[in-house]
Structure 1
């Protein structure tokens, strides 16, 4: 009986509260590498909308896989990429986690993020399928926010 209760609590926690997720691609490198295990906070979706800079989990509209990307624009923002640099509302965004040397010459025209949505991009911009391809992600599609790296330690 006690084992069933423990199993039930673990399942409830995983479904509704927290979920470990293994990074399946290099699209968030060097922040998160393929094989890293992250903890996704599912309650965060009920405590407010994600903000710029948050890394969120959602089901990709491209292939249906659980996907991790960084929020770079929220409702009403005008988002563009000019010569490899992210520009939000006319201002260049400082992104120390992006290798700008590999982004030279990348352009993406201005998009205004609609209400109840976010614009997401991978930190490894040259190796990421993200809102530049499939458009803004509806807030209802977001299943949680990444809170910490479980593996590797450090």
Structure 2
């Protein structure tokens, strides 16, 4: 026996399933695009940024801003390029054209001593010839834990094309939640 209701129920169910499938597919694609090109979650893997960041903390990385601007002094950036086999999290110390010097465990930028309350330990040149002038399209980065950081003093300057994004927010642990400075 063919009831008109039975014929209508099946197409409505199929239509709803197709709508849900399409919505879910769009949501997954949008999430993947955002994760790849706009914002991503990163985990701190080492001690080079102590006391600002410690291993195990989770961060939100802004991958979008540096498509329109360049890093600024003090930005905490994610580096993913040929300078290192590992993804690194470091602080921008000097920009293209800046002259950097390290004397008596302190950092001088363009002749002025930097105020770096976030630094753990003393800063030494690690064999680099000082003063050092940063070239075009490069930045000089260092970890905040200056005595335990593989940074531009060892790797050399970082090309701007190797800068993946800017760490903007700490999301874990919850008691440390907040914007990064």
Q: Which category describes the TM-score, using the shorter chain as reference length? A: over 0.9
The aligned counterpart of 2:146 is 125
- How far apart are residue 44 of structure 1 and its match? 1.4
Q: Which has the higher strand share?
A: 1
Structure 2: which 5+ runs fail to align?
1-20, 177-181
- How far apart are residue 47 of structure 1 and its match? 2.0
- How far apart are residue 110 of structure 1 and its match? 1.6
TM-score w.r.t. length of structure 2: 0.79
Of structures 1 and 2, the one scoring higher in RCO (CA 8 A, sep 6+) is 1
Structure 1: which 5+ runs fail to align?
none
Structure 1 stretches of at least 4 aligned residues deviating more than 3 Å after TM superposition: 60-63
The aligned counterpart of 2:38 is 17
Q: Give me the whole-angstrom Cα distance separating, in 2, the residues matched to 1:13 and 1:60.
A: 21
- How far apart are residue 61 of structure 1 and its match? 3.6
The aligned counterpart of 2:163 is 142
Please give the root-mean-square deviation of Cα atoms over the aligned residues, in Å. Answer: 1.4
User: Any idea what SS the aligned residue of 1:103 has?
Assistant: coil
Contact 1:77 1:88 in 2 (8 A): yes
TM-score w.r.t. length of structure 1: 0.92
Q: Which has the higher helix share?
A: 2
Matches within 5 A, 1:1-154: 1=21, 2-59=23-80, 61-99=82-120, 102-103=121-122, 106-107=124-125, 109-153=130-174, 154=176
